[in-house]
Amino acid sequence: MAASPGKRNGNERAEMKYPWKVAWITGASGAICGEIARRLADQGVRVAATARPSERLEALAASSPNITAFPADVLDAAALKACAAKVEAELGPIDLALLGAGMYVPFDIRAIDAEGFRRTMALNVDGVLNGVAAALPAMLDRHAGHLAIMGSLFGYAGWPGNGGYGASKAAVINLAESLKLELRGSGVGLTLINPGFVDTPLNASYDPKKKLFVMSKERCARKILERLPKRPYEIAFPPQVALFLKTVRNLPRAVSFPLVRWFIKATGA
Ligand SMILES: NC(=O)c1ccc[n+]([C@@H]2O[C@H](COP(=O)([O-])OP(=O)(O)OC[C@H]3O[C@@H](n4cnc5c(N)ncnc54)[C@H](OP(=O)(O)O)[C@@H]3O)[C@@H](O)[C@H]2O)c1
């Protein structure tokens, strides 16, 4: 759906708090990215909201004159490329591509859900890669732009019940590191966003007693948007969880495994 002239005029009147004119967001119909989309739109950023066609996506677009729905499946690389091109044709160059489509499937070692594992890897890894492939070439040509990739702190350390999700987010963290190294001097920024637990439908199947330091989607979106304009390599929070999981990552395994087991016993996580 094209942005109407009314949308553009409304946008031009708005005071810009963020350094982006156009933000393309995948997973925009979801909890965290939907909240980010609304906050950006409130400040005059033109938001191109991508998810599969749904009433949720339409409702998001209807909530602000600065949000336009660009439905696409992130698993379809060609369709996602066409989607990014359509965003640029209709709204202008993508300044920020926030790649947030993702999912969680429980991992039970006694009944391994191989299909769920594959779907998680496909959405969380291929979905991000397809988004990068769709947005990055034009950014490189312009020597400008900002890629922001949704990872998770649980990509830093193996965790019981997290075999699929953790593996996918570990891949995303590694992908982000490779991209960051290669993007040096290109004018294109890259930020890896690694939250801890956020209260959203994504982890509804996760035992609530095990979600330590869980935060609301509003708090999560605020934390991300406070820091994202500065284009840091990583935005990781809450700090207690980030420190613990990154420490676990860097310790010798003979120390990290007992530490994680002790932590789980002590906290019920
Ligand atoms: N919630 C947490 O605790 C947490 C913590 C750390 C990181 N994260 C990450 O943050 C991101 C957002 O999480 P959330 O909790 O906000 O999830 P969510 O509410 O479940 O939203 C997921 C989004 O992904 C979209 N999506 C799923 N499959 C898609 C596909 N094939 N093509 C296009 N879009 C697709 C969904 O839209 P449709 O299904 O309508 O297409 C929805 O917009 C994810 O990457 C997640 O891993 C979440």
Query: Probe ligand 1: pick from 202, 217, 223, max atoms within 8 Å of CB?
Result: 202
Domain 5-267 has CATH 3.40.50.720: yes
Q: What sign does the dihedral 191-195-200-206 (CA atoms) show? A: positive
Q: Count CA atoms closer than 13 A to 13's CA, side-chain side.
A: 8
CA distance 49 to 44: 14
Query: Counting atoms of ligand 1 from 1, which one is nearest the CA of 124?
Result: 45
Distance 28 CA to ligand 1 centre (A): 8
Kindly state the tokens that stand for 17. 């708090």
Strand-pairing partners, residue 98, are 25, 148
pLDDT in tens, 94-126: 999 999 999 999 999 999 999 999 999 999 999
Contact 127, 74 (CB under 8 A): yes
Cα 152 to ligand 1 centre (Å): 12
- pLDDT digit string, tens, across residues 222-259: 999 999 999 999 999 999 999 999 999 999 999 999 99
Q: Where are the beta strands (DSSP E) in 16-93?
A: 22-26, 46-50, 67-69
Mean pLDDT of 187-206: 96
Task: Calculate how far, in angstroms, residue 141's C-alpha sits from the geometric centre of ligand 1.
Answer: 29
Please give the share of the chain, as a percent, with pLDDT higher than 70.
94
Q: What distance lies between CA 46 and its chain's CA centroid?
A: 18
φ and ψ at 244, to 5 degrees? -65, -50
Query: For the segment 135-144, what is each residue's pLDDT rounded down to a tens digit?
Result: 999 999 999 9
Listing DSSP states for 80-119 in one string gives: HHHHHHHHHHHH-S-SEEEE---------TTS--HHHHHH
Ligand 1 atom closest to 198 (CA): 3
Catalytic residues: 165
**Per-domain boundaries in the chain:** 5-267
Confidence of residue 12 (pLDDT cuts 50, 70, 90): very low
- Ligand 1, residues 103, 154, 165, 206: which to mutate, most atoms within 8 A of Cβ? 103
Q: Supply the pLDDT for residue 16.
A: 66
Please confirm whether the linkage preceding 238 is cis (ω < 30° from 0): yes
> Is the pLDDT score of 168 beyond 90?
yes
